[in-house]
Chains A and B, each alone.
Chain A
Amino acid sequence: MENKIITKYWNKIDPLNIQDYIKVGGYDALKKFIRDMDARTALEEIKKSGLCGRGGAGFPTGQKMEMVAEKTEKKYFICNLDESEPGTYKDSSIVDNNPHMLLEGIIVSALIVGAGKAFIYLNGHYEKQKEILAHALEQAREKEFLGKGIIGSCYDLDIEIFQGAGAYVCGEETALINSMEGNRGEPKLRPPYPTDSGLCGKPTCVNNAETIASVPWIIVNGGEAYSKIGASCSPGTKLYILGGAVKKPGVVEAPTGTTIHKLIHEFGGGISCGKELWFAQIGGASGRLITENELDTPLTFSRDCPVPLGSGAVLIVDKSVNIYDLILSWTGFFRRESCGKCVPCREGTFRLHEIAGRLKDGEISERDKEALEDILWTLNNTTFCPLGKFAATAMSDAVEKLGILGD
């Protein structure tokens, strides 16, 4: 039972009806927070839980919240629901299946950091999710879980939905803030970090939707219980998005530290009939490639983990796939989604895509191979934000592990 936190009530309750959620213990965390806890004790629980950012970076959530909670000025809380990694739809699934769990998480988290205003930064393509969230917000307001004096307490909070324009780079928190301020969606220089000077120069806590959705459970069941689930370096459960050549693709919830092998065979029902596994890509288009002999690697957010979990997308690629098409689609994605701010990423992703096109046509020259090596290196080492590094990951692995250059 403990292995399901976020997906526990999926397909069991009506996501559009707040009453259904309340019946299964929804908003208990908020009530507990208001009646039995204060911001400090709740923050202690989050810190004890070891919860870390589910967007991919894996930064300890409690630490981030504390940095904002310490500040005395006006503060903001932002739920990052930009989710534009290819093959990733976990956050939108949370909204589709249990939007109130996310709202409860946002309310509690915002109260913990002491923000009077919270935003949901929604991907520009998520029209349906916007409607669901707007509906859920309305219901929550009616029940006085939002607004002035939340269920009779002295806490005030309002949540607003902010819809972006669907840029990948806006998932990066400083770019997200830029976008909300009406600027061009591109990362800002750090420091100052958003926890010091974020939205409109105020301390801002930006958390991924999945991270936030785990908060109510931690408040109700305690940080210690959460810290016992999954891998000790980054405890808890994680939503994995299985895709490609598996029998049962879709979003599954499993503890962190689950091996890819287990994900494929236990949760995904095995490799599709008649297909033969070639490699798996973990974490979307920016993810690493894992070949057959590495499938037993446990996936965690730890820096020591050889395979970064990233967004949690697990793409199973079988041997019938044309790798050159796949590479062209990766490089094409980053060639479109680079913000164009710094030289290596703007020019590098453009040239990488150009070379991937020639690779597909079988016209790659020696000069291209040299250039490819240089571009991958510069993307990895010199870009302004991590997007450049992401753009190089899969291609580097394809060169190294799959030998796509034919050497």
Chain B
Amino acid sequence: MNYLRHVLDHLRKDLRLEWRSRDSLNGMLFFSLLVVVVFGLAFDPTSYPTVARQISGGILWVALLFASITALNQSWAREQRNNVLEAQRMAPSPASALFLGKAIANLLFVLVVEAVLAPIFIVFFNLHALGSIWLLALIMPLGTWALVVNGTFFAALGLRARNRELLLPLLLLPISLPALLAMVQATTGVLTGDLDPIQINTWIKQLLGYDIIFTTVCILLFETVLNAE
């Protein structure tokens, strides 16, 4: 219970910080919008509805992936100002609470971006989903968590590295590729209605397994990374 309270405190702090500046939310929103527009210009999805359905799952996730990388790079930077991070290292609360709080905050930011982006995406890509669309309500949070939990971790890992901005995608992308495959396949399956529900089910289960495994690894190792020197 005590641990939960620490996590909630960290979460509240991160949400308040973000609410005051709204930097990363605005940045992510505009960036993902730009990616969608660029892909729209490149593929002309409205003339080819079938092709649009087949590729839009991938495009949506690529847009979200790149957008969240831009925000994740900044998410620890605000802790470095005034040596807040050093204070956090000395605080008696468990280090993983700090991590979980920030990861959940990042999850909420990306979910907000998704909620705003989804209608725009449907309009621009002229999408009519052929599968059971409500499954997306499960796939999107699971997929986002997979990106965000590792992303928050690796952003902390690269904090004191040279080329920090470049290092995050270099580490995050290879680790996230199995999850990316699962979420893109599941989303495309829902949009096209081609995949068997059992197959979609398997992809979602894999995504869930991935989330559980990597959340555990991140929580176990975060203290080591925070105190690395």
A and B bound? no
